[in-house]
Amino acid sequence: MADKTLNDLFYETLKDIYYAERQILKALPKMARAAQDEKLKEAFKAHKDETEGQIDRLKQVFEIIGKRAQGKTCDAIEGIISEGEEIMEEFKGTSALDAGLLAAAQAVEHYEISRYGTLCAWAEQLGMKDAAKLLKETLAEESATDEKLTGLAKTAVNSAAQKAA
């Protein structure tokens, strides 16, 4: 068996996040429809548009490394999305729904931040300056989205869930 390299690991992780982003793109409209808070609905819709751009950047990274853009099943994102679907089902129509949706969305963001942070470090290590630049752009967007969600949780969503209790 051939020795696996950091290049191989980079490529496999790139396929993982590409798959994850495409699954997230499918989940966001469902989350937006389920959300009761208008600001949360808008946040999900805005992140859907942002995710489309992130997928385009990933395709560019695949081009840079001379590989076809393809995903590899990501069990982690499948599980996180499944948990979000459970929340939508179990808490439908309740005051706690939005808090649960927001928590699920932040779990997604934290996964993405972890993956993009790793890919940025590896791209730099491997001398892939153009790829690193694209990945850093997405990492910054994911971090900003996480901060927005935290602000929304603190200023509206969590207190609305608590008041109704």
Give the predicted TM-score (pTM) of the model: 0.93
Contact between residue 122 and residue 13 where contact means Cβ atoms under 8 Å apart: yes
- Token digits of residue 106: 């932040």
106, 119, 155 from 161: Cα distances, Å:
17, 37, 12
Which CATH number describes the domain made up of 6-68+75-156? 1.20.1260.10
Q: Return d(Cα 164, Cα 7) in angstroms, integer.
A: 51
pLDDT digit string (tens) for 82-101?
A: 999 999 999 998 989 999 99
Contact between residue 139 and residue 117 where contact means Cβ atoms under 8 Å apart: yes
First vs last C-alpha separation in the chain: 58
Burial grade of 158 (CB within 10 A; 0-12, 13-18, 19 or more): middle
pLDDT digit string (tens) for 58-87?
A: 999 999 999 999 999 999 999 999 999 999
Structure confidence at residue 159 as a pLDDT band (50, 70, 90): confident
The residue assigned the tokens 């929304």 is 152
Domain ranges of the chain: 6-68+75-156
